């Protein structure tokens, strides 16, 4: 059992551990693939809202195959694919024994990288599109950090529902290539942060309505400028703060345009659903069906063997990164 641990004495190291015994309500899982997400990095750095007791195994997301089950396990059987039901499970390992309640079954015919990246970014995108504004076909959404995992999922889920997207990215040397990729996913408009602040934006709204929903993963000026383009009464949802700057809102936006500011954290949503799995299972079924219909694909990924985890961690923290690092286990 190889495990990427995050101990007190060192930021990270690879260790070989003894596999825990299989209890009556436990599931023995062979992990197949697990991504490195920004929240994983924040947890290692000690700056995330959810911090495990150290030493701990890294990784909040991934997919594994069931090898064996305890005598009281009823929801999965050997051969099934499973993903974490919540954050903090510790997925950067080759094998593990997990409680049955900590796992969700997913169809084993999903593409491996789709299954490995299904539990965080697509869920976040799905909930934000569903829970804050009643969006109908023809409506539009604006988002920054559109090349992120969440951003790519927003584009695809919105397109499947007939919702138009305005996608804001930072200028970069390979901008035409990035624009081409996002358009291939279903993006209606891809613009830079600089364009967002220019009068040219009015041309976009000749063909599509102003957005009723803005999704903010950056903060700072980017959030303020997106807010300017919302319809009166619209909502901006903040789910990240890549710029590490506060969200600043003009008083006039509150008084004269009645905009609403909300926040979203997928981990908290799952905690709120702890009393029943109905909402979580319904969402996962909808996302799996989108994948099976070819309407939701994995983000751009780079597969890395677990032994090369240091390179993967370094790559995941580089600027202008559009490819998610996936540990292959």
The pLDDT assigned to 5 comes to 54
The pLDDT assigned to 129 comes to 98
pLDDT digits (tens, 9 = 90+) for 207-248: 999 999 999 999 999 999 999 999 999 999 999 999 999 999
pLDDT, mean of residues 310-329: 88
The neighbouring-strand residues paired with 4 are 14
Q: How far is CA 60 from the centre of its chain?
A: 11
pLDDT, mean of residues 128-134: 98
Q: What percent of the chain has pLDDT over 90?
A: 82
> Residue 3 — very low, low, confident or very high, per pLDDT cuts 50/70/90?
low
Distance CA 329, CA 307 (A): 9
The pLDDT assigned to 148 comes to 93
| Candidate from 7-21, 23-37, 120-134, 170-184 with smallest mean pLDDT | 7-21
> Residue 7 — very low, low, confident or very high, per pLDDT cuts 50/70/90?
very low
Fold of 121-266: Rossmann fold (3.40.50)
**Bridge-based pairing state of the strands 81-84 and 213-216:** unpaired
CA 245, 117, 175: angle at the middle one, nearest 5?
A: 55
Q: 2-119+299-328, superfamily in CATH? A: Medium-chain alcohol dehydrogenases, catalytic domain (3.90.180.10)
What mean pLDDT value characterizes the chain? 93
156 closest CA partner among 136, 183, 131: 183
Q: Which residues contact 295 (CB under 8 A, 6 or more apart)?
A: 156, 159, 160
The length of the chain in residues reads 329
pLDDT digits (tens, 9 = 90+) for 9-47: 346 788 888 899 999 999 999 999 999 999 999 888 888
> Residue 8 — very low, low, confident or very high, per pLDDT cuts 50/70/90?
very low
Q: Which residues contact 150 (CB under 8 A, 6 or more apart)?
A: 121, 124, 125, 215, 217, 239, 240
309 is catalytic: no
Check whether 99 has a pLDDT greater than 70.
Answer: yes
Domain extents for the chain? 2-119+299-328, 121-266
The pLDDT assigned to 2 comes to 57
| Candidate from 2-6, 104-108, 214-218, 324-328 with smallest mean pLDDT | 2-6
The neighbouring-strand residues paired with 305 are 328
> Residue 92 — very low, low, confident or very high, per pLDDT cuts 50/70/90?
very high
Distance CA 327, CA 304 (A): 5
Strand stretches in 151-249, DSSP E = 164-169, 189-192, 213-216, 235-238
> Of 48, 126, 239, 309, which one is the catalytic site residue?
48
């Amino acid at each position: 059992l190889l495990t990427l641990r995050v101990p007190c004495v060192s930021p990270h190291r690879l260790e070989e551990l003894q596999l825990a015994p299989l209890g009556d309500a436990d599931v023995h899982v062979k992990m197949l693939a697990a991504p490195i997400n920004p929240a994983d990095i924040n947890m290692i750095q000690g700056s995330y809202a959810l911090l495990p007791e150290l030493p701990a195994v890294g990784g909040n997301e991934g997919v594994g195959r069931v090898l064996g089950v305890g005598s009281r396990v009823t929801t999965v059987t050997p051969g099934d694919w499973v993903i974490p039901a919540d954050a903090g499970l510790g997925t950067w390992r080759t094998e593990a024994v997990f409680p049955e309640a900590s796992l969700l079954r997913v169809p084993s015919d999903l593409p491996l990288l789709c299954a490995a990246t299904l539990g965080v970014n697509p869920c976040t995108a799905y909930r934000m599109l569903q829970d804050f504004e009643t969006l109908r076909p023809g409506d539009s959404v604006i988002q920054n950090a559109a090349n992120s995992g969440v951003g790519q999922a927003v584009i695809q889920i919105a397109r499947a529902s007939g919702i138009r997207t305005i996608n804001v990215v930072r200028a970069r040397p390979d901008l035409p290539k990035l624009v081409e990729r996002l358009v291939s996913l279903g993006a209606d408009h891809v613009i830079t942060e600089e364009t967002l602040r220019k009068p040219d934006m009015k041309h976009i709204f000749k063909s599509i309505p102003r957005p009723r929903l803005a999704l903010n993963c950056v903060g700072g000026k980017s959030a303020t400028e997106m807010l300017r383009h919302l319809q009166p009464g619209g909502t901006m949802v903040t789910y990240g703060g890549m710029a590490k700057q506060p969200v600043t809102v003009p008083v006039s936006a509150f008084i004269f345009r009645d905009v609403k500011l909300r926040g979203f954290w997928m981990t908290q949503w799952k905690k709120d659903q702890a009393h029943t799995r109905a909402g979580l299972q319904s969402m996962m079924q909808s996302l799996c069906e989108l994948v099976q219909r070819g309407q939701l694909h994995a983000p751009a990924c780079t597969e890395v063997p677990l032994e090369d985890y240091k390179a993967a961690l370094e790559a995941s923290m580089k600027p202008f990164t559009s490819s998610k690092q996936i540990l292959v286990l």
